[in-house]
Amino acid sequence: MGTQRESGEFVREPLGVAERITADGSSPWPVQAGRYRLVGARACPWANRVIITRRLLGLEDAISLGIAGPLHDERSWRFHLDPGGVDPVLGIEWLREAYEKAVPGYREGVTVPAMVEVASGQVATNEYAALERDLSTQWREFHRAGAPDLWPEPDAIERIGEGIFHDVNNGVYKCGFATTQAAYEKAYRALWARLDELSEHLATRRYLVGDTITQADIRLWVTLARFDAAYHGHFKANRHKLTELPVLWAYARDLFQTPGFGDTIDIEQIKQHYYGVHRSVNPTGVVPLGPDTANWLDPHGRAELGGRPFGDGTPPGPPPAAEQVPPIA
């Protein structure tokens, strides 16, 4: 996942299979319905980004979904929630098996999301940012009727997305895995400066770019959704809880209550993963019982700002029965 510099700063490792799946023949992997299985995990924000994108675009029939459980060790993510501890389509116990089929002797990080070719059982790509964009642009033939445009203003989305990635998505990890006080404080200050900036930006507009949900909102939301459950305490990102930030908390609830967002996460699995796997941060592996999550369903009042969540499109229907998550209680 990452390494530490001598300064104690956390550095995210490069992706080991950074290919693309395209419809135009520009990559070794062609777009083809039924050819690939998206392997994600309910706990992982990087996987959550691609799972939300797939759901909003209605690609469930074209790309199947495998879910690794929240617990793993140095060997990799594993399918411990599936019957027999084996993915029912790929027939593997550890995701590492699919990486090693792609790259014999594979030594890089075994990450989710990973798009796996079903027939060969090998990872085609784990490049999550390219996957997000390619699901929108390369897989159009298989989008549902009414699929939204998640990239209406690509330059603006990438510009705001860069800051979100460095200071928020990755920023919480920089806080949590810092091994010196100076490295931690640097990451902490950058995180909160960016969240303050985003809060001001969202105070007068419902979404980050334009008046519809875009990929930028997906990128920010996956971190906000995990903030109080994991990052505030576990990663010491504790200036405030999300629930103490009126604008960002209302924004996060608005999206949580939008089809395609809250119905893709499992707070219990998020806590099990962060507190149970990161033993360098939480040596006991004890998982907290809190926080209360029923407040995610409280009214958010954000509709008063206008906006059209899906633009000229429509909301996705309910998730397939096999992909449903436990309701917030």
As a whole-number percent, the residues of the chain with pLDDT over 70 amount to 97
Q: pLDDT per residue over 290-317, tens digit each?
A: 999 999 999 999 999 999 999 999 999 9
Written as six digits, the tokens of 88 are 């029912």
Rounded to whole angstroms, how far apart are CA atoms 48 and 230?
15
Pull the structure tokens for residue 150: 């998640």
Domain(s) labelled CATH 1.20.1050.10 in the chain stretch across 154-323
Tell me the catalytic residues.
44, 173
Q: Is the pLDDT of residue 138 over 90?
A: yes
User: CATH 3.40.30.10 residue ranges in the chain?
Assistant: 2-142
The pLDDT tens digits for 225-252 are: 999 999 999 999 999 999 999 999 999 9
Q: Which fold has domain 2-142?
A: Glutaredoxin (3.40.30)
Higher pLDDT, 32 or 105: 32
**Per-residue tokens: 250:** 């209302």
Q: Average per-residue pLDDT in the chain?
A: 95
Fold of 154-323: Glutathione S-transferase Yfyf (Class Pi); Chain A, domain 2 (1.20.1050)
pLDDT in tens, 27-41: 999 999 999 999 999
Residue with tokens 């004890």: 286
Which comes out higher in pLDDT, residue 115 or 9? 115
Q: What is the mean pLDDT of residues 115-126?
A: 97
Beta bridge partner(s), residue 22: 30
